[in-house]
Amino acid sequence: MLDGLRGVIDGSELIGIVNTGDDLCLHGLQICPDLDTITYTLAGLNNSETGWGLRGESWRVMEELEALGGEAWFRLGDRDLALHLYRTQRLSEGASLSEVTAELLAHFDVDVTLLPATHGALSTRFTTPELGVLSFQEYFVKHRHAVAVSSVSFEGASRATPAPGVLDALEQADLIVISPSNPIISIGPIVAIDAIREALVRRRDDVVAVSPLIGGKALKGPADRLLEELGLSASSLGVARCYAELAATLVIDALDGDDAASVESTGMRCVVAETLMDDAHSAAELARVLLDA
């Protein structure tokens, strides 16, 4: 979505506030999957086939780690690992996650600003009847989100405060977009931080959310499944229930156009548009819809 917006607005005008609830420490390394995936994507280096990691990546370290009997379920490519080494070293030297993020963006010549939602310890947790409480990566990667979830929580959210610049960005933005990410586990951790939630409530008229569902289904990941499992319904209505308090407008896909009335029943305005971003053109088109909305 940020890449699409960059198709119609100068990148230096864009600030992305990024989920850190998936972050993990593995092998001693501080790994921030969402910050990294967005950085790689904006740098044009992302692997669009896998949806994560770098294009043309090599796997020397992971192969050897696997041979050693180490934890290899979370795949870390060689170039990707270098970034985690860099971040971990810089954090150990006292740099903040925002500073390291800015350094990496500068290295990759990305003009968009990315801010972690918080510097605090905020961890998404899944309660599963079958396997107990799972971390994000256990749920998402290890078990490939193929396990029933009874609740989702954000450990540390009540103590977490927004990272520097986040509240200013939310106060001063002309438009705030909630991207078509998973409302529960990608947007959820961000808006679980009280001050961020309150800022969105204050700016509600200028907040446009985009539903991640197309024809009632998530393009990838478990958004539809989780909406259903948590009793919100896997539909535009379920998404609207997540955002009604925070956003005045919900953009839904043309394939879900029949849901417009149910979305509006939550007090949101509903805009119907083509939301599939399968190339730069369609992404820029959706970005224009948001600016017009």
Q: Is residue 175 at the binding interface for a copy of itself, with CB under 8 A as the rule?
A: no
Least gap, CB of 207 to a copy of itself (angstroms): 35
Nearer to a copy of itself, 5 or 32 (CB): 32
Contacts with a copy of itself in 214-253 (CB under 8 A)? Answer: none
Would you give the distance in Å from CA 38 to the centre of its chain?
9
Strand partners, 55: none
- Between CA 275 and CA 249 the distance in angstroms is 14
> Which two three-digit tokens encode residue 13?
């005008």
DSSP structure string for 215-236: TTEESSSSHHHHHHHTTS-SSH
Least gap, CB of 105 to a copy of itself (angstroms): 12
Least gap, CB of 30 to a copy of itself (angstroms): 7
Stretch that binds a copy of itself, among 67-75, 140-148, 203-211, 274-282 (CB under 8 A): 67-75
Q: Is residue 68 at the binding interface for a copy of itself, with CB under 8 A as the rule?
A: yes
Burial class of residue 16 (count of CB atoms within 10 Å of its CB; 0-12, 13-18, 19+): buried
H helix runs in the chain, sequence order = 2-6, 33-42, 60-67, 78-92, 97-107, 136-137, 166-172, 188-191, 194-202, 223-229, 236-243, 260-264, 280-292
Least gap, CB of 69 to a copy of itself (angstroms): 7
Contacts with a copy of itself in 83-122 (CB under 8 A)? Answer: 83-86, 88-90, 92, 103-104, 107
> Is residue 195 within 8 Å of residue 164, measured between CB atoms?
no
Stretch that binds a copy of itself, among 28-36, 44-52, 214-222, 228-236 (CB under 8 A): 28-36
Q: Let me know the angle formed at the C-alpha of 167 by 10 and 87, rounded to the nearest 5 degrees.
A: 75
Least gap, CB of 31 to a copy of itself (angstroms): 10
Burial annotation 211-250 (CB, 10 A radius, 16+ → b, else e): bbbbebebbebbbbbbbebbebbbbbbbbbbbbbebbbbb
Site for a copy of itself (CB under 8 A): which residue of 48, 56, 69, 292? 69
Strand partners, 114: 16
Nearer to a copy of itself, 60 or 281 (CB): 60
* Total residue count of the chain as it appears in this document: 293
Nearer to a copy of itself, 38 or 81 (CB): 81
Contacts with a copy of itself in 33-62 (CB under 8 A)? Answer: 58, 60-62
Nearer to a copy of itself, 35 or 214 (CB): 35
Q: Is residue 28 at the binding interface for a copy of itself, with CB under 8 A as the rule?
A: yes
Would you give the distance in Å from CA 200 to the centre of its chain?
17
Stretch that binds a copy of itself, among 6-14, 74-82, 111-119, 183-191 (CB under 8 A): 74-82
Site for a copy of itself (CB under 8 A): which residue of 13, 64, 168, 171? 64
Please give the size of the binding site for a copy of itself, defined by CB under 8 A.
33
Nearer to a copy of itself, 92 or 150 (CB): 92
* Residue ranges binding a copy of itself (CB under 8 A): 25-30, 58, 60-65, 67-71, 78-79, 81-86, 88-90, 92, 103-104, 107
